[in-house]
Amino acid sequence: MSANSVQELLAEIKAHPDGTDLLLTAFYTAAHHYRRSTICTPFPTEVFPPPNGTADKDFPALHRALDALPPVHSLLGGEDVFSCLPPSALALLKWLLLNPARRRRFSLTPLGDMVRQLRQRCGGGSGGGGGDGAWQLPALDGHNSPACILRALDGSAQAPFARSCIAYHGTHLENLHSIIHTGLQSMSGTRLQRTGANYGAGIYLSTNYDTAFSFCQPCASWPRSRFGTKLRALLVCEVDLDKSTTERGGTGGSAGFAPASSSGAVSAAPLPDTYLVVQRADAVRLLYVLLYCDASRTARPARVHWCTVMVVLYAAFLLGKALLAALKQHRY
């Protein structure tokens, strides 16, 4: 790799260290998951060509490159750190961070800033875009509070939709890599569908934080991530209610649409009033990624029950006394 590319990589990581960690964590999780052959999209085929002329993805080579990467804070040490990395690891970083067609940048943001931005995008603040405001901001102060909030800089920088709402999407962590790079897609009726499509085909979101959080599933992730090694992810999205046929739950459909099945007929099951089912991927814009770290279970210190100890000691005393008596009986 050229010196200019190394300097560009270093500048990108220094500008967005938390975003770099997120991208590596999401990619590592997808690449090591048992469904990696279908969910690890996009894949760096130009860096790791299919082996022996096959169409298979070369995951062993990818795993070796990922394992060679140090924590992000070590990458900030300068060009000397990059000189110690194998060429495959450098090429992987360049593919992940510097691809001009799909460069994704994230930055760590405080809760207060996220609240203010969301209110503005829904018309609740000065200079905000339009929207019906039918979203509930969570208290985020209980056991479901996020450990980190990362703002999607490309999505947040765009002007709000003319008529929109904020909604949440809970997902499995192994899906995050594909979502970040290709957007939320409708997987209803495909082999990638994981949670069913009871209310028709489309992208499922909820205006209720707790409802969406219930779909977050923890997964072992990149062991060198600063965010933790067992994470959940919740996506905060803006939904364009005009661009596509958006189904909204509630009496009579608060967005003016009736729930439809995947065949186009009206679904027999009413859509819950906090649910959104969106058919078009370009009607959903990723604004924030909320991360939750599941603390590893530590062994509880053993409690000493002194009554049990005394009983055991007394039993040992009686057993010893009986053995001594038996030995005396067998003496000549």
State the pLDDT at residue 162: 86
State the pLDDT at residue 269: 64
Same-domain check for residues 133 and 209: yes
Question: Which of the listed residues 45, 77, 97 is the one where a domain comes to its end?
Answer: 97
Q: 270 in a domain, yes or no?
A: yes
Banded model confidence at residue 141, pLDDT cuts 50, 70, 90: low
Give 75-115 pLDDT, tens digit per residue. 998 888 999 999 999 999 999 999 888 889 999 999 889 98
Same-domain check for residues 256 and 207: yes
Same-domain check for residues 187 and 40: no
Report d(CA 60, CA 37) in Å as an integer.
12
Same-domain check for residues 22 and 163: no
- Cα 132 to Cα 113, 123, 185, 189, distances in angstroms: 21, 8, 24, 31
For 34-61, give the DSSP string: TTHHHH--S--TTTSPPGGG-SS--HHH
Return the C-alpha torsion angle 158, 159, 160, 166, nearest 10: 20
Lowest mean pLDDT among 8-22, 147-161, 311-325: 311-325
Question: Which of the listed residues 45, 71, 97 is the one where a domain comes to its end?
Answer: 97
- Cα 238 to Cα 178, 279, 280, distances in angstroms: 18, 14, 13
Give 160-219 pLDDT, tens digit per residue. 888 888 999 999 999 999 999 999 987 554 444 455 555 667 888 988 888 899 899 888
Return the C-alpha torsion angle 301, 305, 309, 310, nearest 10: 160
Closest CA to 205 of 258, 274, 269, 276: 276
Report d(CA 141, CA 168) in Å as an integer.
17
Give 36-85 pLDDT, tens digit per residue. 999 999 999 999 999 887 778 999 999 999 999 999 999 998 888 999 99
Report d(CA 182, CA 30) in Å as an integer.
14
Report d(CA 69, CA 49) in Å as an integer.
20
CA 247 to chain centre: 25
Same-domain check for residues 154 and 8: no
- Cα 318 to Cα 137, 256, 305, 309, 326, distances in angstroms: 68, 83, 20, 14, 12
pTM of the model: 0.78
Same-domain check for residues 92 and 114: no
Parent domain of 267: 106-293
Q: 283 in a domain, yes or no?
A: yes
Same-domain check for residues 23 and 142: no
Question: Residues 219-230: what's their mean pLDDT?
Answer: 93
State the pLDDT at residue 244: 58
Computed over every residue of the chain, the mean pLDDT equals: 81
Same-domain check for residues 146 and 185: yes
Q: 315 in a domain, yes or no?
A: no
Q: What total of structural domains would you count in the chain?
A: 2
Q: Find out whether 160 and 129 touch, Cβ atoms under 8 Å.
A: yes
Q: 324 in a domain, yes or no?
A: no
Share of the chain above pLDDT 70, in %: 77
State the pLDDT at residue 307: 73
* 29 or 120, greater pLDDT: 29
Q: 273 in a domain, yes or no?
A: yes
Same-domain check for residues 110 and 235: yes
* 32 or 248, greater pLDDT: 32
Judged against a pLDDT cut of 60, whether residue 321 lies above it is answered with yes
Q: 51 in a domain, yes or no?
A: yes
Banded model confidence at residue 299, pLDDT cuts 50, 70, 90: very low
Return the C-alpha torsion angle 101, 102, 105, 106, nearest 10: 160
* 295 or 35, greater pLDDT: 35
Q: 332 in a domain, yes or no?
A: no
Query: What CATH number is given to the structural domain containing 194?
Result: 3.90.228
Same-domain check for residues 60 and 167: no
Same-domain check for residues 87 and 207: no
Q: Is the dihedral of CA 94, 96, 98, 102 positive or negative?
A: positive
Q: 330 in a domain, yes or no?
A: no
Same-domain check for residues 120 and 81: no
Judged against a pLDDT cut of 60, whether residue 136 lies above it is answered with no
The one-character DSSP state at 174 is G
State the pLDDT at residue 235: 96
* 302 or 91, greater pLDDT: 91
